[in-house]
Amino acid sequence: MNVKNDIKYVGVNDYDIDLFEGQYIVPNGMAYNSYAVLDEKIAIFDTVDSRKTDEWLNNIKTVLNGKAPDYLIVQHMEPDHSGSIDVFLKQYPTCVVVSSKQAFVMMKNYFNNDYADRRIIVGENSTLSLGKHELLFLTAPMVHWPEVIVTYDKTDKVLFSADGFGKFGAIGTDEDWACEARRYYIGIVGKYGAQVQALLKKLNGVPVDAICPLHGPILTENLGYYINLYDIWSSYKVESDGVVIAYTSVYGNTKKAVELLEQELSKKGVKVAVNDLARCDMAEAVEDAFRYGKIVLATTTYNGDIFPFMKEFINHLTERNYQNRTVAFIENGSWAPIATKVMKGMLENCKNLTFTENGVKILSAVSEENEKQISALAEELCK
């Protein structure tokens, strides 16, 4: 695949993986992206997961056509990108490794070798000339690991963005970019919004014709759309109007209340996303919570606490700096209901949350009074 002029794609698709990072469902596989810049000096950008080393090396061999690479640029040390470093460097013994200081410490930990005899350490605004191509390195600490760098090719105006602008799914998959990029971003990078914002500020005003991420498709058109979404996600702004309802239900009574609320909101023309936390993809539910501006948390009092799936869900939110949202509660309990108190307590350190005046308190089964509470809550959520 030709990226631009003499920049070639040499990455691989992984259709064998079922759970990325051991937790994210990837029905359409994953792409491990790698790039070759063919100039007076040849640079390879990042390696791939060790399970795909042979396929990746064959791609490189085909593109280089008998030549040897001069530089291996390592932007990120997570094993899905760094897993083939040592094998590659043994195959190309004259190749020099270019990376951040912290990355070489990690290489020592992974491979028992920090390549001190064949390395270049780069930092903020370091440059490297390949001949025609002039590379500029920018540090991107905690996006989403501390050693991360991104690279800007001044010649072709290409940004090699590490895990930034990545998404789930193999290259060539026919699916909406924003959906799987959002799930990827919120799940994996979402905690580090401030750090992403800092990187976006560094790139503000820099002319970019193409973005080459380490996962997902190469972005070459309408780049403002993708950058705007990253700005929304990393600043925890509301992306879409609507209400998310996340719930758990033991015997169906809490579910009934959720269904009544969904009906009331839908009749008023409100977009509603409902997630049964015991059955849905938890990452999808978390994605919805960050996408929309209002959320309803509905669960039962359980063992003097809240139902485990709801507790897990709220932990996912708080771990990722959930903020700038309106929150409502539906609680259920046959005796001593405390679910609302527990949920609100779990959210107490979140920034800029507004709690609705109306809520729903079910004592076992949905009553006429509960139906009135649901109507009042729907009215408030529509404002």
Secondary structure class of 82 (helix, strand, coil): helix
- For residue 369 the two structure tokens come to 């009074």
The mean pLDDT value for 317-342 works out to 96
* pLDDT at site 114: 97
Contact at 8 Å (CB) between 336 and 301? Answer: yes
Give buried/exposed letters for 172-211 (b at 16+ CB in 10 A, else e).
ebeeebbebbbbbbbbbbbebbebbebbbeebeeeebebb
- The domains located in the chain, with CATH, are 2-234 (3.60.15.10), 240-381 (3.40.50.360)
* Amino acid at the residue 152: Y
Q: What is the residue-averaged pLDDT of the chain? A: 97
Q: Give the pLDDT confidence of 263-292 residue by residue, as tens digits.
A: 999 999 999 999 999 999 999 999 999 999
* pLDDT at site 174: 86
- For residue 323 the two structure tokens come to 């903020």
* pLDDT at site 5: 86
Q: Is the peptide bond before 81 cis (omega within 30 degrees of 0)?
A: no
By C-alpha distance, which of 340, 361, 375 is closest to 261?
Answer: 375
Query: Please, which pLDDT band fits residue 2 given cuts at 50, 70 and 90?
Result: confident
Q: How far is CA 304 from the centre of its chain?
A: 34
* pLDDT at site 169: 97
